[in-house]
């Protein structure tokens, strides 16, 4: 019986010739990730272990990104804990104020994630790195602690779903719309503990930013991971950003998939996920009612990359954010922020009446930089819209791509980019 791409990576890291779905294995890790919220818990757990230091100071990444610069005393204490740990164990890849970014955009940019890696992170959106052909998945802080101490983790080998992509995306449609469409189709538990494996000739038409967005939200369908084949675009990205060696794995022709879905990219339109689940999706043309908004957020580990900012700026250029609407733009990393400055995108945002923030997860999890009050609505390029996700339990979050988020900021209601000319 053949293996999927994910199964081949796991077999290699477990030192086995083959694995099959449902099998329990212990695998070597190439990278262990934590942030300012999850790392303190892991650090306390590791301090109770009979180990003197981490398994490899070069294979741990600690990113201060959720409440940084610190929003309050508690967040400052959390970051202090991580800073001291990073200093004590001489962690190579520690990213703090001034050099940090949103972790899932930062690590690929820094060349820390490459094809064939096995990566765990104490953050559910660690699945992002599957865009480069890595197996990456979120874990709890206790598993992060064990990973930092031993360099190993146990897994149940996932079964897989196959998504065959055809064609190419129309104007104003991005990877965010692809994954929202898929989640709307299969549901938030449609890929529960399964590998979401993307293939087909349509993959070649997707940019790396599109792929990062799609892999990022595999968890929103319940997936264990999302993963793309390693093609010329992925190789070019890795060569530009990383000095690490990478390994290309390909699924066997007789690999077993529980189900196959065929997605015609050319038939997609901008999507919007209504409260309070990412599966509550509608195409923009299906929305008949007027949905007024109070806030628009353009950023996050899903959509804070340069293509997202360029898309939003192209809509906001020469226009104004609607009076009464707060438009918050968050570049995902310092490098992306600088590029946005150099390209004049930040000037466009400021002239339109938007605010531009330092890289942070901030509003995505209701942390800071955009908390919603009772009864307020936000259109957001983030990845979750659960009850109370961005603030008050009686607020509402609508998920969309950067084109819809920017257009809606101009009109003051959820709108297609075509509506503003």
Inter-axis angle of helices 345-352 and 334-342, to 10 degrees?
A: 80
From residue 91, alpha-carbon distances to 55, 59, 116, 152, 244 in Å are: 11, 8, 23, 18, 18
The DSSP bridge pattern shows strands 194-199 and 159-166 to be parallel
Domain with CATH 3.30.499.10 in the chain: 5-264, 272-420
Backbone φ and ψ for 265, nearest 5 degrees, come out as -60, -35
The residue written with tokens 């794995």 in the block is 249
Q: Rounded to two decimals, what is the model's pTM? A: 0.95
Using pLDDT thresholds of 50, 70 and 90, give the confidence band for residue 420.
Answer: confident
Sign of CA dihedral 189, 21, 249, 60: positive
And the tokens for 410? 């101009």
CB 159 within 8 A of CB 21: yes
Residue 121 has pLDDT above 80, yes or no: yes
Q: How many CB atoms lie within 10 A of CB 261?
A: 16
What is the band of 81 on the pLDDT scale with cuts at 50, 70, 90?
Answer: very high
**Average pLDDT of the residues of the chain:** 96
> Which pair of tokens denotes residue 20?
């099959």
Residue keyed to tokens 């968890």: 219
Residue 421: pLDDT over 80: no
The 8-class DSSP code of residue 142 comes to H
| Distance separating alpha carbons of residues 325 and 370, to the nearest angstrom | 12
Nearest to 104 by CA among 31, 197, 29, 7: 31
- Tell me the CATH class for 272-420: alpha beta
Residue 133 to residue 159: CA distance in whole angstroms: 17
The CATH number given to 5-264 is 3.30.499.10
Give per-residue pLDDT as tens, 362-412.
999 999 999 999 999 999 999 999 999 999 999 999 999 999 999 999 999
Give, rounded to a whole angstrom, the gap between the first and last alpha carbons of the chain: 54
Burial class (CB in 10 A: 0-12, 13-18, 19+), 99: middle
| CA pair distance 90, 111, nearest whole angstrom | 19
Candidates 364, 401, 409, 367; CA nearest to 385 is 364
- Sole residue written with tokens 């529960």: 192
Distance CA 374, CA 277 (A): 19
Question: Is the four-CA dihedral 385, 192, 266, 206 of positive or negative sign?
Answer: positive
- Residues 184-214: tens digit of each pLDDT: 999 999 999 999 999 999 999 999 999 999 9
Q: Where are the alpha helices (DSSP H) in 49-207?
A: 73-88, 103-109, 141-150, 175-186
Residue 124 CB coordination number (10 Å): 17
- Crossing angle between the packed helical segments 208-216 and 175-186, to the nearest 10 degrees: 30
| Cα dihedral: 314, 316, 318, 319 (round 10) | 150
Task: Count other Cβ atoms within 10 Å, centred on residue 177.
Answer: 28
Whether the Cβ atoms of residue 321 and residue 329 lie closer than 8 Å to each other: no
Q: What is the DSSP letter of 420?
A: G
List pLDDT tens digits, range 270-297. 999 999 999 999 999 999 999 999 999 9
Evaluate the CA torsion angle 384, 385, 386, 392 in order and state its sign: positive
């Amino acid at each position: 019986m053949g293996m999927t791409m994910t199964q081949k990576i796991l077999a290699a890291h477990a030192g086995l010739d083959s694995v099959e779905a449902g099998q329990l294995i212990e695998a070597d890790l190439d990278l262990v990730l934590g942030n300012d919220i999850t790392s303190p818990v892991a650090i306390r757990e590791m301090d109770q272990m009979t180990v003197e230091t981490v398994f490899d100071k070069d294979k741990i990444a600690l990113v201060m990104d959720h409440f940084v610069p610190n929003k309050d005393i508690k967040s400052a204490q959390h970051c202090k804990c991580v800073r001291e740990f990073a200093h004590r164990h001489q962690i190579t890849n520690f990213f703090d104020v001034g050099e940090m970014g949103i972790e899932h955009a930062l690590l690929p940019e820094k060349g820390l994630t490459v094809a064939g890696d096995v990566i765990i992170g104490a953050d559910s959106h660690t699945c992002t790195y599957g865009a480069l052909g890595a197996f990456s998945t979120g874990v709890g802080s206790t598993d992060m602690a064990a990973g930092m101490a031993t360099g190993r983790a146990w897994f149940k080998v996932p079964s897989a779903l196959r998504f065959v992509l055809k064609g190419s995306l129309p104007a104003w449609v991005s990877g965010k719309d692809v994954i929202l469409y898929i989640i709307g189709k299969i549901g938030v538990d449609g890929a529960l503990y399964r590998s979401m494996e993307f293939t087909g000739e349509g993959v070649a038409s997707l940019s790396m930013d599109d792929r990062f967005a799609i892999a990022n939200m595999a968890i929103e369908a319940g997936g264990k991971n999302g993963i793309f084949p390693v093609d010329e675009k992925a190789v070019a990205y890795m060569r530009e950003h990383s000095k690490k060696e990478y390994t290309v794995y390909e699924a066997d022709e007789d690999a077993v998939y529980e189900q196959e879905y065929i997605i015609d990219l050319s038939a997609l339109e901008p999507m919007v996920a209504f409260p309070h689940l990412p599966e509550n999706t509608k195409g923009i043309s299906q929305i008949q009612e007027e949905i007024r908004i109070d806030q628009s957020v353009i950023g996050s580990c899903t959509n804070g990359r340069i293509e997202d900012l360029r898309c939003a700026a192209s809509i906001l250029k020469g226009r104004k954010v609607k009076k009464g609407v707060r438009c918050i733009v968050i570049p995902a990393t310092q490098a992306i922020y600088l590029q946005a400055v150099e390209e004049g995108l930040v000037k466009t945002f400021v002239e339109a009446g938007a605010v531009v923030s330092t890289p942070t997860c901030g509003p995505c999890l209701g942390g800071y930089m955009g908390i919603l009050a009772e009864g307020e609505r936000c259109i957001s390029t983030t990845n979750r819209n659960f009850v109370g996700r961005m603030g008050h339990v009686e607020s509402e979050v609508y998920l969309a791509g950067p084109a819809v988020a920017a257009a809606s900021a101009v009109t003051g209601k959820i709108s297609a980019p075509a509506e503003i000319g």
